[in-house]
Chains A and B, each alone.
Chain A
Amino acid sequence: MEIELSEEQELLRETVRRFAREVVAPRAKQIDASGEFPLATFRQAAELGLAGVCVPEELGGAGMEMIAYCVAIEEISKVCASTGVILSVNNSLVCDPLLRFANDEQKRQFLAPLAAGAKLGCFALTEPEAGSDAAALRSRARRDGDRYVLDGDKVFITNGTHADVALVFASTDPEKKHRGISCFVVPCDTPGFRRGEHEYKLGVQASGTTQLFFDAMSVPAAWRLGEEGAGFKIAMSTLDGGRIGIAAQAVGIAQGAFEAALAYAQERQQFGQPISKFQAIQFYLADMAMELDAARLLVYKAAWAKETQKRYSLEAAQAKLFASEMAQRVTNKALQIHGGYGYTREYDVERFFRDARITEIYEGTSEIQKLVIADWILKAG
């Protein structure tokens, strides 16, 4: 067992940290207020290889390991959770399934520009009536010669307002339920593809969340990813990896809030001394550090498991569950330490507190993670 990052990974952390501080952080407050999608930041991040961290270099990516990816997402999310999830979706939910399921032609056409950040991807699974119960989706793909015709609505699609390419899940055979779901790679300028309005949310305000509508959208069969009926498997295995990215995002948000609280507690004077001298504040800080360290280890463990094991659903679910709930508690304590100031938009902890909330919901709610974990525990032994 070894818990130190490699030199290359430490170097990446330093590089991304500098980029986050110099480029991402100065825009974070403004895009949170306006909801403006940070497309320029995405392109700049892509220049560092952050659009396709784990995609091989010959396919346009950075060719690094899952741990490096987690480190990068953490460092970005530490200053801007919106940018963190934008990158996480492009990497985990779009590049990763393309890398695993796309044929050579699809890789050349779709994966390479996505991994290089020339194009932005989104993942269109969730529907108004199919959230945790993804298999209940109502989007349909009807075979028409060597093409498919897609109809349906998607909701809460991160990157949706600006994406160039969407992974779309639709049923090709509703009678087969989840075994009838297929996956398609669709350029967003395809006729019949329409975006909704930008969704204003509690947090991760600049992540381009929107609805997508497909109205008799005709796509060539060559854009189908994997076999007909393999879509649900592709979606679930993709979300396993996505959970690791969201767990890393949660660790980053919490780390940002923790560092702000640690600094504030040493500056803020009450009762004639810095509030860090009071046990109440010290205990908050200790709890935050303890849970952050535990969460980061679980994230690294899940990333390590994805690299080395066939199955890593358990590790990914545990990392996601623990890290997201940790982020909720840590950002809450950070805000509490800031007192009334923490409730104002002048301080970053207010944003961190709002941003953390979604990590318990998207890419599998905490409740879904618990069911996944319990299934594993009950199956084992």
Chain B
Amino acid sequence: MAIDFSLSDEQELLRQEVRRFAEERIRPGLRERDRAHEFPAGLVAEMGELGLLGMLVPEELGGTGHDPLSYCVAVEEVSRVCPSLGVTMSVTNSVCCWPIVRYGSAELQRRVLPELAAGRAIGGFCLTEPSSGSDAGAMRSVARREGSDWVLDGEKAWITNAGPGRYFVALAKTDLAAGKRGISAFVVPADAPGFRVGTGEEKLGLRASNTAAVYFDGCRIPAANLLGEEGQGFKIALATLDHSRLGIAAQSVGIHQRALELATDYARERIQFGVPIAEHQAVRFMLARMATELAAARALTYAAALAEHRSDAGRLAAEAKAYASEAANRACRDALQIHGGNGFCEEYEIARLYRDVRVTTIYEGTSEMQRLVIARQLLAR
């Protein structure tokens, strides 16, 4: 082994293919979908046909069995054009398919993964509740055993893909006295009796992704839908989030890349004081910072993707997520600044990116939670 920063031929080819698909198929209609809060079910189905929704699912279960770095490259390229589809993709792959691959029984895997991987079914992850965000262990949803079924009661908040979703990995307490060790993980199909989705949230950004509350009212699922062991749910949730941080880091890198492209193009064309504004040092310095932080964010994200087997994998993923999301926020801010008044108008793509990027420091673990994860691992050494 030796240090090498080049992608493999397959990974480069994947990047080209996904970029072409994103430019040709996803870019048209971006602004209309954003304005209408429209979830593009047709495009998601096409992404499924291309294999982009089951990248971490083994081929024998209908997925493409990609390595985590290839997955990051694909999320990055989709997010570069449409961060909304980036998160739809990341959620299906990272927080729905991945825990099922890792913890589901063989029977459960055969039942749900081929559909999810092919894009015939969209996936979601029900962890957050109205009063338990970062403090996920404080959830109130419960599941009780009734014969050969589990029956779930509770309310989940801000669930990506809630409306179009077909399968959800859901967390609920099976033992109220056992604290975090009393939490279990289940796969809940959307057609289970007692499953209900609230109205979609109106969000600041990512408007073409679907976000809504999910309600379990005596929601009945077969016992075989338990993931892992009873009481293992919190561990499964944390492992899943460790993994999913890669997806959000990659999404942030894709947004950052696009912000740099938009800012560079605009700075070359926009004339002020008789010269393109790219001639002014103030603008050049903003571009230099964006480009440098992009290189850093991408290096951290790819390194975290390669480090999944290492003992410091969790820390690296948290670093990648926190750094890439914050750097992308700074990049969108500066890119908008370079656009001046035009950047504040929705006619320019940077206005939407500026809204879209904001959530990256919040969901799948806020920046503050990432720092606690990093610090705990540093101090545990």
Contacts and interface: CB of A to CB of B under 8 A. Distances in A.
B138 interface: no
Nearest to B306: A3
B306 A2 contact: yes
B292 A318 contact: yes
B287 A300 contact: no
20 contacts: A1-B8, A1-B69, A2-B1, A3-B3, A4-B2, A282-B375, A283-B375, A290-B323, A293-B319, A294-B300, A295-B296, A300-B3, A303-B3, A304-B4, A322-B296, A374-B285, A374-B288, A377-B264, A378-B267, A378-B278
Contact of B315 (A9, A279, A289): A289
A276 interface: yes
A287 B371 contact: yes
Interface stretch (A29-37, A89-97, A211-219, A365-373): A365-373
Contact of A1 (B4, B264, B296): B4
B287 A304 contact: no
* Interface size, A (range): 35 or more
B239 interface: no
A40 interface: no
A304 B284 CA distance: 26
B7 A298 contact: no
B317 to A, nearest CB: 11
Max chain B CB contacts within 10 Å: which of A6, A262, A295, A373? A373
Nearest to B376: A282
A321 B288 contact: yes
Interface of B: 1-8, 11, 69, 260-261, 264, 267-268, 278, 281, 284-285, 287-289, 291-293, 295-297, 299-300, 302-303, 306-307, 315-316, 319, 322-323, 368, 370-372, 374-376, 378-379
A305 interface: yes
A209 to B, nearest CB: 28
Contacts of B322: 286, 290
Contacts of B288: 321, 369-371, 373-374, 377
Given A6-B3, A276-B375, A290-B319, 19 more contacts: A1-B4, A2-B2, A2-B3, A2-B306, A3-B303, A4-B1, A6-B1, A6-B2, A285-B378, A285-B379, A293-B319, A294-B297, A294-B299, A294-B300, A294-B319, A305-B5, A321-B292, A369-B288, A377-B291
B4 A286 contact: no
A15 interface: no
The 7 residue pairs across chains A and B that have the minimum distance between CB atoms: A282-B375, A374-B284, A370-B288, A286-B371, A286-B374, A297-B299, A373-B288
Contacts of A298: 292, 295-296, 299
A381 interface: yes
Contacts of A369: 288
Max chain B CB contacts within 10 Å: which of A265, A295, A297, A315? A297
Contacts of A381: 261, 264
Interface secondary structure of B, over-half rule: helix
A266 interface: yes
A323 to B, nearest CB: 10
Interface of A: 1-6, 9, 67, 262, 265-266, 276, 279, 282-283, 285-287, 289-291, 293-295, 297-298, 300-301, 303-305, 308, 315, 318, 321-322, 367, 369-371, 373-374, 376-378, 381
A213 to B, nearest CB: 34
A295 B261 CA distance: 23
Contacts of A322: 292-293, 295-296
Interface secondary structure of A, over-half rule: helix
A371 B375 contact: no
Contact of A297 (B289, B303, B378): B303
Contacts of A374: 278, 284-285, 287-288, 291
Given A289-B315, A370-B284, A262 B4 contact: no
A371 B295 CA distance: 16
A381 B263 CA distance: 13
Given A285-B375, A301-B299, A293 B287 contact: no
B284 A290 contact: no
Contacts of B316: 293
A315 B5 CA distance: 11
B206 to A, nearest CB: 25
A274 to B, nearest CB: 9
Max chain B CB contacts within 10 Å: which of A290, A308, A315, A378? A290
A266 B379 CA distance: 8
A370 B5 contact: no
A372 B154 CA distance: 56
B253 to A, nearest CB: 12
Nearest to B303: A3
Nearest to A258: B378
B356 to A, nearest CB: 22
Given A282-B372, A286-B370, A318-B292, A378 B299 contact: no
Contacts of A286: 322, 370-372, 374-375, 378
A318 to B, nearest CB: 5
Contacts of B285: 367, 370, 374
Nearest to B267: A378
Nearest to A290: B319
A286 B365 CA distance: 15
B332 to A, nearest CB: 16
A285 B5 CA distance: 27
B379 A301 contact: no
B116 to A, nearest CB: 28
Contact of B3 (A4, A279, A321, A376): A4
B263 to A, nearest CB: 9
A301 B322 CA distance: 21
A289 B374 contact: yes
Contacts of A303: 3
Max chain A CB contacts within 10 Å: which of B278, B303, B315? B303
